[in-house]
Amino acid sequence: MGFAAAALFASCVFTSGLAAQETLNGRVVDSASAAIPNAVVSLAELRLATTTSNDGTFAFDGVPSGKFTLVVRRVGFASDVREIVVPNAGDLIVQLSATPFQVEPVTITATRLPTTSLRSPLPTSALSEDQLRREQSSSLA
């Protein structure tokens, strides 16, 4: 009788563990409902991350039941952070808002050792974002 009870208990624990695993699906879109590919979608507490496909969809398999923080990021868009409850999350639609961002200047040097632009023996120049856009046709190759 003891063995049968232990086997029954083990099968209940194993089965309930399987039932607790969910698939979380969603889609990331912009304000015009167009898909946003290559957005990074993560579940913070589980340390899981994925990227959206070309049609903006993402999926996490094997998500346990519970409350989680869903974080969605993409360059050029404001991040979206929200709390979700699994298994009741359903198919998520995450809408990101376009946000302009500032690009920091990039210094490119051709010396053998790293150096600051002020100490460089070579001539240096800094290009602003507008200058980079105007000079897009320039190639260093």
What confidence score (pLDDT) does residue 20 get? 64
| pLDDT tens figures, 20-32 | 688 899 999 999 9
Q: What CATH superfamily is the domain 18-95?
A: Carboxypeptidase-like, regulatory domain (2.60.40.1120)
Domain(s) labelled CATH 2.60.40.1120 in the chain stretch across 18-95
Q: What are the DSSP calls for 44-110, one per residue?
A: GGGTEEEE--TTSEEEEEEEPSEEEEEEEE-TTB--EEEEEEESTT-SEEEEPPB---PPPP-----
- Residue (of 106, 100, 96, 101) closest to 126 by Cα position: 106
Whole-structure pTM value: 0.60
pLDDT computed for residue 130 by the predictor: 74
Q: For 65-93, write each residue's pLDDT tens digit.
A: 999 999 999 988 999 999 999 888 778 99
